[in-house]
Amino acid sequence: DFLSPGFWALFWHRFGNWRMGIRPRAMRIPFSLWYRFMTHWVRWMSGIELPYTVKVGRRVILEHFGGMILVAQSIGDDVTIRQNTTFGIARLDDRAGRPVIGNGVELGCGVVILGRVVVGEDAVVGANAVVVKSVRPLAVVGGVPARLIRLRSRDEANRNRALRVRN
């Protein structure tokens, strides 16, 4: 959807990565200036911050934009992220400790994921959960701090992923 703020946040994120391949550096400068202006514009208009340094997979969906600070190590394929979601460091003395979001993960609104945690493949994190420990694949977690609610079957996860990709 070209009118979706999530589309534009991902577009300028990918543009930021593309521009880093321009050599020599002097040729890259105008593209870098344009990238910086447009990412600030997207942040002001939609409330989505997604630095180009985050490795983002295919078919990532930023639903219901607003209040998204997505400073992760990486975000996998087929991930759905809803409004008011925050990824980031847990402590100032561990600036490299950013989350890793696996393939097929679904994140409810208001989710906070902090520190060197891995959210496993096809996991579901419920609304307003605070994740400070790694989440195993196929897990459904929720609460503050996030706790295991149940484990999903591989078939259930595949059905849900197929529905998200088709829509």
Q: Could you give phi then psi for residue 62, rounded to 5 degrees?
A: -105, 95
If you compute the radius of gyration of the chain from its CA atoms, what whole number of angstroms results?
A: 16
Could you report the per-residue pLDDT of 64-95, keeping only the tens digit for each?
Answer: 878 999 999 999 999 999 999 999 998 888 87
Q: Mean pLDDT in the chain?
A: 93
> How big is the CA angle at 61 (ends 153 and 47), to the nearest 5 degrees?
130
ω before 145 within 30° of 0 (cis)? yes
Read off the pTM: 0.90
Burial of 155 (0-12, 13-18, 19+ CB in 10 A): exposed
